[in-house]
Structure 1
Amino acid sequence: PSEKPVASKAKPVAEKPKLPATGNGFSAYNSLQFKYSILIDVAVEELTNVKLLQFMDDWYGTKYRFGGSSRDGIDCSAFSGSLLLNVFGLQIPRIAKDQYTACKRIKREDLEAGDLVFFHTTRRGISHVGVYLANGKFIHASTNYGVTISNLDDGYYAKAFVAGGRPRSAYVPQSLGN
């Protein structure tokens, strides 16, 4: 019997699932939970904030571009502002030092998911910002690696860390859950 070659065509991806799958199968959401539980070092069950997971995954690996605010390139303050707006519904200033001014200081040990973390990486004061996740991990637009997850304990960030910040408004910090 002659076999016909099977042509594989990529099918357009439908809207990402918003709820976890039931049963034994994995959904895209379950995959995001698993991926980020490893990167953040938390239990899979703790990652229930679908908006946060999808936002991080959509932007992860986007290159850094000073002054950028698109997937063609984004800087740290545009990324943190976009994450807070799209995930937590909070609008903050565009520039890292202005974001710092707009925040109540939070000690490192009191940081919660959605809080900002500020760094002094130049001689001009606050010059870098990221969004805290959990376990000392934060997501940010790094000049070298683009949008990535880093650890506050890493030498460079430990030395440059200034403070955590929680925007002064009706904003309530979130857990990695809803």
Structure 2
Amino acid sequence: MKITNLHKVAFMLLVAVFFTACSAKRYAPSNTKAAKAAEAMASLKNKQLYRYINEWAGTKYRLGGLDKRGIDCSGFTYLVQRDIYGKQLPRRSKDQAAVIKDKNMSQLKEGDLIFFSFGGGEIDHVGIYLNGDSFVHASPSRGIIVEDLSLPAFQRAIVKAGPVNN
């Protein structure tokens, strides 16, 4: 069996989840990125969402992509909403933003969408809120990854967030 980057990422997440679940803080300090991501994943209420993210973890970013060979941010949110929540979204992030019910960040629930503007203008990125300060998205540099929403780069770029309106 050929070991791919996806297998490596999934293995690393499983190891991190194991250590977090066993409260072995000395092996996986809670302040590491991997431990925070593992904790966010372990805390998901929707186990179907958990499995879906694990299946896609590490998939490379590809603008316009919509499969495991590469996917972009709006493609990932499009598929998650369709496959996990049974909701239809437009394909582009700025069009997706038009069909959400905007709400305060403190009111977000698992599966809500978070929209960003890194270019300083219109919406150019989207991710999916998980819990606490964590979200999953298709990072242009790292592919599908769980990240810390409290990082200043993300906080400065948040434009809108909320659940899909349909």
CA shift in 2, pair 1:47/1:116, >3 Å: closer
Cα distance between partner residues in 2 of 1:142 and 1:43: 17
Distance 2:15 2:105 in 1: 26
Task: State the partner residue of 1:137.
Answer: 134
Say yes or no: does 1:75 pair with 2:75. Answer: no
User: Where does structure 2 lack aligned partners over 5 or more consecutive residues?
Assistant: 2-13, 22-34
Determine helix, strand or coil for the equivalent of 1:149.
Answer: strand
Does the 8 A contact of 1:41 with 1:135 survive in 2? no
Q: Report which of the two has the higher share of helix.
A: 2
Q: Which residue of 1 aligns with 2:153?
A: 156
Distance 1:55 1:135 in 2: 19
Deviations 1:46-93 (A, max 9, x none): 444221111000000000011111100000000011011111111111
Contact 1:32 1:53 (C-alpha < 8 Å) held by counterparts: no
Specify the alignment match of 2:105 in structure 1: 108
Looking at structure 2, the residues matched to 48 and 113 of structure 1 have their Cα atoms a distance apart, in angstroms, of 8
**Structure 1: distance between partners of 2:130 and 2:113:** 9
Quote the offset at 1:168 in angstroms. Answer: 1.2
Residue by residue, what CA displacement relative to the aligned partner does 1:102-131 show, whole Å, maximum 9, x if unpaired? 111011000100100000012440000000
Matched to 1:106, the amino acid is: K
SS at match of 2:52: helix
The residue that corresponds to 2:17 in the other structure is 34
Identity %: 33
What is residue 10 of structure 2 aligned with on the other side?
none
1:139–1:149 CA contact under 8 A, matched in 2? yes
Aligned-residue offset at 1:33 = 9.9
> 8 Å contact 2:17–2:39 — kept in the other structure?
no
Q: Which structure has the bigger radius of gyration?
A: 1
Cα RMSD, aligned residues only = 2.4
TM-score (norm 2): 0.76
Q: Distance in 1 between matches of 2:40 and 2:120?
A: 35
Any gaps of 5 or more consecutive residues in structure 1? 1-9, 11-30, 170-178
The count of aligned residue pairs is 140
TM-superposed CA distance for 1:162, in Å, is: 1.0
Q: Which amino acid aligns with 1:71?
A: K
Match of residue 49, structure 1, among 46, 51, 56: 46
- Is this contact kept in 2: 1:40–1:137, CA < 8 A? no
Q: TM-score, normalised by structure 1?
A: 0.71
